[in-house]
Structure 1
Amino acid sequence: MELVKNLNQSSIVKTFLIIILGSLALTISAKIKIPFYPVPMTMQTFVVMLLGLSFGYKIGLATVSLYLLEGIAGLPVFSNSPEKGVGLVYFTGPTMGYLIGFLSATLIAGTISSNDNTVKVISKLLLSVSTIYILGVLWLGTLIGWDKPILEFGVYPFLLAEIFKLALLVIISKKIINLRKFI
């Protein structure tokens, strides 16, 4: 009985450690800007989907939720913080829809299994990243007005980078998913 109790405590500690380290990885991915055309890219959406792929949707969602709560609490975890403000003010700004979309993206990417064929993996990853942009555009339009060229601001500049990140995720997805059994 003592062995079972120790295993459960060990598992809980391991899970919390994974969540904290995943949140740190997401923060780092938000801060590093990679030169890309037409705008510099961060690897945030890549890491969001990688968290779902790597840890499954439960731990992935917990990790992204912690990241969002850290940002709302005022920690400078978001892409352009603290330069553009921190906390709830930043969170409710133009990027809120995209940030909330991280949750749905992680959920969908976390459902990809080792039994999924390449077409299914590509479809789920496309749906995953699409939810980020759909929620982002919906919030952006609500915030700045639908009379503005929202797709030109909030989607088109990022499409080439997203294709690159999705291709990379598809290539590594089977190997990453196989690592879940060690978690």
Structure 2
Amino acid sequence: MTNSNNYNELNRQLIQNKIGMTAAELHGFLSGILAGGNHDESWKILTKDMLNDGQSIAEPLNKEIEKLYHSTKQQLIDEDFEFQLLLGDQDLFTQIDDLVGWVNHFLLGIGLVQPKINRVKGDVGEAIYDLRQIVKLGYDENEDQQELGFAFEEIKEYVRITAMLCFDEFNESDITPTIH
């Protein structure tokens, strides 16, 4: 199934279950939890709280969320940099809105797992600061579509790399081999 099909199907299920979140926002939230270093099943509780005020989630949707969580985790662990943001492929303005929603929910997810994220220094601290600025970005529908498209692709790639950087930073103990 393509990224677009995954996005559309997940969005359809979220709407059907009256969940006020897009597939991009859900993926950003799960990516943030993973990047923040979550190592247990508490992600399920955080997700239920976020999506459905702590209430259980209908089973077909719950399975999709678990599948998304595990595939995202595998992409982040993979050393081939396969991690991709789950965004729709609609018009450019909708994609920009999806990206901003993804980043906003990524920050929420990572903040839940790393409550002192504001105190992180170095490259990761700067990247988190940059993500906060990206959330504030706006656009004018009269802007040059080509320039806006190039800027969008650059920002999207920066966000993707930043998510992987955060994952590496907060998951080092799982990835680094033990030396005796």
Going by fraction, where is helix more abundant, 1 or 2? 1
Q: Which fold has the larger relative contact order, with Cα–Cα distance below 8 Å and residues 6 or more apart in sequence?
A: 2
User: TM-score, length-normalised on structure 2?
Assistant: 0.36
User: TM-score, length-normalised on structure 1?
Assistant: 0.36
Larger Rg: 1
